Amino acid sequence: MEQIFTKQYHISNDTMTIEPKSVENYRTLIVEPGKQIYTTRSLNQILNDSCIRSGASLDGRRMAAGKILETSKKIPVPVSPEQNIYLMPTCAIKEKECAYISFIHIKHYSEQDKKTLVVFNNGYKIIVDTSRKSFNQLYNRTSNIMVYFNYKNQF
């Protein structure tokens, strides 16, 4: 897998995962098909910048999603509904190890040693430190947000 080191990054349809990971002066690891991209920007800076590019701040996106879902915990981020970019957190967003997974890249997931194995469309795999039941709830929340944004103007 190719490794890239950069200062800037904008979430795109190629973004599979984004997670906090310190390597030298770099703070965040992004995985795209065939690439590991390290950036000096924090995960929240990348999320906020990418949300703003699509017309709203990260806080605004979280607030909207939270109201739609009627929850304030583990809220998925509709980064760019127009481009079908929705990211789901792997745990509570206040946790230092909270990472985000792109919904559209998930092929399937299953339980593995009380954690969740996530398999992506291209065969890439990660282990998420959450139960399959909890991951399934996050997955369903994200799909509900996708349906809301994709079909809200059709009813």
Domain ranges of the chain: 2-154
Closest of 116, 66, 67 to residue 91, by C-alpha: 116
- pTM for this entry: 0.93
Helices (H), the chain: 43-53, 58-69, 132-151
pLDDT tens digits, one per residue of 58-113: 999 999 999 999 999 999 999 999 999 999 999 888 888 899 999 999 999 999 99
d(CA 18, CA 32): 9
CA-to-CA dists, residue 11 to 73, 111, 138, angstroms: 22, 28, 20
For the stretch 13-44, pLDDT in tens is 999 999 999 888 899 999 999 999 999 999 99
